Amino acid sequence: MTKKWNLIVDVERCDNCRVCFLAVKDEYIANDFPGYSAPQPAQGHNWLDIERKERGTYPIVDAHFMPVMCNHCDDAPCMKAARDGAVTKRDDGIVLIDPVKSKGQKQIVAACPYGAISWNEELQIPQHWTFDAHLLDQGWTKTRGEQACPTGVFRTIKVEDDEMRRLTAEEQLEVLQPELGTRPRVHYRNMHLMTHCFVGGSVVVDIGGVEECAAGIEVVLRQGDREVGRATTDTFGEFRIDRLAPGSSGYRIEATGAPGRFALDFDIGAESRYLGVMKLSSAG
């Protein structure tokens, strides 16, 4: 079987330093790579961009960042929309928009459901991130984004499809909008940080009439009769349980420790929830 290029992006590692964003700009602005891409405009195009997601409410809040770019889909809508072979998919999995054949074909931009193709008004051509194919063809083993990233967000790999399926299952990888059926070659780890919710709370105990943070308290989350999460409170008495589907319901949280217990029934809306201060009580 043929080995093909894939990119693994770990959302948990991205801190929005934007070095990858700048590396792509540096590679393509004012640089012409015949057969691969025409120069990227200095403004208006972000062939690699960073999406942001804030979750939770005070005092338990987090923010995560997800690099997005052309997915180099195996069933690419842009190929179907193109005329005269303007968009092709190489045997190694990389999708290329021919900078000559694609001239005037603005429908290629509209065909991408991910918004990953930009229109160059000056040159009248559609453009995208080429997976740095010109560098890989010279023997590079990493994209510019991976080379520049200081936190190890990216992993560029060339493997057979069977091996990629194994990695997907082993590392719990996901792709953007799988319901579209485009079969992207950009895969994400820890995408739940962008797509799912968490619940958090603060557990306290009464010591001589003063509420103190309760560390080391076991917290269990159930949905109906099924346990869906478990956590232990930290030094500040706080806990967090993640990977909950937005709009889900029928939850019960229970905190149990030597001073007593606390229980609360609740639902999840569109966003993560802070459940407030939970006071352990022997009468709970």
List CB contacts of 1: < 8 A, sequence separation 6 or more: 160, 161, 162
Q: What are phi and psi of 225, to 5 degrees?
A: -95, 5
Domain ranges of the chain: 4-193, 197-279
Q: Per the omega criterion (within 30 degrees of 0), is the bond before 59 cis?
A: yes
Which overall architecture, per CATH, does domain 4-193 show? 2-Layer Sandwich (3.30)
Per-residue pLDDT of the chain (284 residues; tens, 9 = 90+): 799 999 999 999 999 999 999 999 999 999 999 999 999 999 999 999 999 999 999 999 999 999 999 999 999 999 999 999 999 999 999 999 999 999 999 999 999 999 999 999 999 999 999 999 999 999 999 999 999 999 999 999 999 999 999 999 999 999 999 999 999 999 999 999 999 999 999 999 988 888 999 999 999 999 999 999 999 999 999 999 999 999 999 999 999 987 789 999 999 999 999 999 999 986 54
CATH topology of domain 197-279: Immunoglobulin-like (2.60.40)
Q: What is the DSSP string of 200-238?
A: EEEEEEEETTEEEE-TT-EEEEEETTEEEEEEE--TTSE
pTM for the complete prediction?
0.92
